[in-house]
Chain A
């Protein structure tokens, strides 16, 4: 069973000194990569290097800096380290290094950020090297003991063998000596075709505790003397807290303190959370709502619709030829306007963080997708320097991008700062979580296609209008004002490249940023862009009487990897062959997060217009697959997340606030609606793509295209509940 204990490092091993804040955190003395100074874990076992600790009983502790939120990265990264380390997989446990330790050791564990489907692909190289380096050192230590050349020794399953003499020893026996060796300057990584642990669908390392109730999430943290806080932040985004009548709840049972949090929120601290929430609900609060209270979904939609006008300024994300001229002179023109709403992440575990503040130390316990960002928020909110702060990461009850933000960490620290020496756990109610989301951005899109007399597509104009995430969340990432991420799936090249060649192409974005705070929501801009492109491809094909797959294939000859996954799903679902009676098919493909994905749906529509999704076939080419069982689960889960958003999602704005308050107004798919998902994995090697997000993009367009096949009706607006369409 795996316990995520926090390693306590030998304090001699690093020097604490400089204050730091923000992203560029770096303090302390350089600790060589496994160098002569032995660093020890909490139980005294030596580190071979920052990734690998070996206990005398041969247990291998693998450090994982990225966060586990269900996507399986904890297990996948451990597999990659173990593969190169040649350790006994049955004796592997994992632990999270803390951001504070990482800062003190010159970011020894690199980036903690776990989003953008990067968990494995952007750290696979250095964690594999960590495993390989440790193996070389362990083998060298054994060779030194035997006074033989290391080249005569091999390692497997945590056992080192001297081939000529047949002598053996174990990692646990030589680790003390290995930890004192200089690490090799360079190591050779295995060819993935030789993998024995990686590439296999081994069981997750965190399952048992998740079936017994023993897994401790942020919400479950208990500290001696801990109090609990409930909070309300201004429901109109960007507005302020004006006043509250504390006297009305004074004397309510268990209430300890009412705290103003920043200039927009108020929290009640009580002995239990239920009493804190009960008192907060009874607290009269007056908000200073301001101009944003005039904003509604209708006013946002009107503003975005204006951005569809070609006369309005727009950023160009992809262009070849002259699409506008080609459309103007076309024999045949097809046009359609689509839209996609705000969405809430709705992680099953609402946002929470526990903080303990004293003037000498501020500690935070929380689930976070970015330990270093949570650490930076702790520094900023506490006002303490890095060496006096620490963040203890816990397993996340869902992330989906929401826990990459640190608003809840900042709030917890600000509350704890008002009660020095007392740990305070801040937990958002579901209602607060729905009101204070970082929402999937709202967009509209005008699609225009042009044909010549022979029904060849000569031009395509994609005119996006709507919100940029980067504008608010990461303004430094804008390129001359342009949000390049807004073009995910439609870009000329890179991680999210378009899969079609059209003689005249124009993809542009009229950026319009309403006051609703946007965030990265699993799949991010692939979600709406794949609906726009793939539903419109279906429209274009039908407008000229062509098969939607054949129509795409003609445009995809220069995009063989996109085409390969499309062909894989078309083949598996039986495209071109008769479907069962009453069943209709739709298909879609997209590239996102460095991976190529496609999906096809088989659906039927009941007489009263409800949709039954019978079967999904999904294909992915992420380059390499570290754990096929987990990839399958990510793909199946992507259809749950994507179809929940399509059918039930959509957050609307009234009087400047989000209207949805809980799962009664923001519903989520249940097991009854779950189709059978069949995966076709076609890893082609040579690149590392992500897995957690790209497939969500094809879920909605595959079903919408099947809906057209079934009914002849086009749906260009999400969610379907607004058109009285539900799951059968």
Chain B
């Protein structure tokens, strides 16, 4: 059992303490925008914000996440407006299959909070999500567009 605060709501989930946050979010809370890609914190498809920091939710247990502020892709928009990263993603038509993009967007949103005008090198170091379709060229353009929005 754990109390998780996700997108501003506190939810009691009936899972073992060592259950990865990813699976509690997807299966117990029912928010499926956060994706499973590797389960070993490498691909980044499961990226969420934990107390404002981008974290790979497959590598964090519910007991570690309890009591913290968790934001998923579904909670990134505020007051009815999409986040500027989401808007830049739409304007630049970034996604292909789209499966990695929730995690990519969450990683970028966290980067821009820390570093509002990242250089290409900053992007290279901070954004390590895997995209097999190969959207990186549009991702980079959209990050700069969001930074300048």
A-to-B contact residues, CB < 8 Å: 69-72, 203-204, 206-217, 219-220, 222, 228, 253, 272-274, 346-350, 395-400, 427, 429-430, 629, 633, 636-641, 644, 662-664, 668-672, 674, 676-677
Contacts and interface: CB of A to CB of B under 8 A. Distances in A.
B129 interface: yes
B43 A663 contact: yes
B11 interface: no
B86 A212 contact: yes
Given A204-B93, A348-B97, A274 B27 contact: yes
Among A219, A427, A638, the most chain B Cβ lie within 10 Å of the Cβ of: A219
A676 B74 CA distance: 32
A671 B96 contact: no
Interface string B49-77: 00000000000000000000000111011
Contacts of A213: 31-34, 72-74, 102
Given A274-B20, A430-B37, A430-B39, 16 more contacts: A211-B89, A211-B101, A212-B33, A219-B32, A253-B16, A348-B97, A397-B97, A397-B98, A398-B132, A633-B93, A637-B96, A638-B134, A641-B133, A663-B37, A671-B127, A674-B136
Contacts of A206: 95, 98
Contacts of B127: 670-671
Interface in B78-133: 82, 86, 89-90, 93-102, 105, 123-125, 127-133
Contacts, number: 180
16 contacts: A70-B98, A203-B90, A222-B30, A274-B20, A348-B37, A349-B37, A398-B99, A427-B36, A633-B138, A639-B134, A664-B40, A669-B136, A671-B124, A672-B128, A674-B140, A676-B137
Nearest to B30: A222
A404 to B, nearest CB: 15
B4 interface: no
B102 to A, nearest CB: 5
Nearest to B127: A671
A72 B90 CA distance: 15
A695 B110 CA distance: 34
A201 to B, nearest CB: 9
Contacts of A676: 137
A674 B130 contact: no
A662 B38 contact: yes
Nearest to A347: B132
Nearest to A670: B128
Contacts of B132: 346-348, 398, 400, 640-641, 644, 668
B32 A216 contact: yes
Contact of A663 (B28, B31, B42, B139): B42
A70 B96 contact: yes
A215 B98 contact: yes
A726 to B, nearest CB: 14
B5 interface: no
A629 B93 CA distance: 9
Interface string B8-34: 000000011001100100111011111
Nearest to A397: B99
A207 B136 contact: no
Contacts of A214: 33, 74
Contacts of A671: 123-124, 127-129, 136, 139-140
B97 A70 contact: yes
Contact of A430 (B19, B23, B38, B72): B38
B99 A217 contact: yes
A669 B128 CA distance: 9
> Main SS of chain B's interface residues?
loop
A395 B98 CA distance: 9
Contacts of B130: 348, 663, 668, 670
Contacts of B86: 211-212
A228 B134 CA distance: 31
B144 interface: no
A215 B32 CA distance: 9
Q: Select the residue from A206, A348, A669, A672 with max chain B CB neighbours within 10 A.
A: A348
Contacts of B136: 636, 640, 669-671, 674
Contact of B101 (A210, A346, A670): A210
Contacts of A640: 131-134, 136
Interface residues on B, range: 35 or more
Contacts of B39: 429-430, 662
A669 B135 CA distance: 11
B45 interface: yes
Contacts of B124: 670-672
Nearest to A220: B32
Contact of A207 (B26, B72, B95): B95
Nearest to B72: A213
B95 A210 contact: yes
Given A663-B42, A674-B140, A207 B31 contact: no
Contact of A672 (B37, B96, B125): B125
A207 B99 contact: no
A427 B31 CA distance: 17
Nearest to B16: A253
A14 B72 CA distance: 45
Q: Which of B20, B73, B96, B123 has the most CB of A within 10 A?
A: B96
Contacts of B27: 228, 272-274
Nearest to B27: A272
A219 B19 CA distance: 18
B40 A662 contact: yes
Contacts of A274: 15, 19-20, 23, 27
B98 A210 contact: yes
Contacts of A348: 35, 37, 43, 45, 97, 99-100, 130-133
B64 to A, nearest CB: 15
The 3 A-B residue pairs with the shortest CB-CB distance, nearest first, are A213-B33, A640-B134, A637-B134
A408 to B, nearest CB: 15
B32 to A, nearest CB: 4
Contacts of A219: 32, 35-36
Most buried by A among B20, B28, B127, B134: B134
B20 to A, nearest CB: 7
Which of B30, B34, B138 is most buried by chain A, counting CB atoms within 10 A of its CB? Answer: B138
Contacts of B38: 430, 662-663
Contacts of B139: 671
A209 B98 CA distance: 9
A348 B90 CA distance: 21
A636 B137 contact: yes
Nearest to A671: B136
Contacts of B28: 272
Nearest to A431: B39
Contacts of B40: 430, 662-664
A671 B43 CA distance: 12
A211 B97 contact: no
Nearest to B98: A210
A253 B129 CA distance: 33
A400 B96 CA distance: 12
B71 to A, nearest CB: 11
A429 B93 CA distance: 30
B137 A677 contact: yes
A397 B96 CA distance: 9
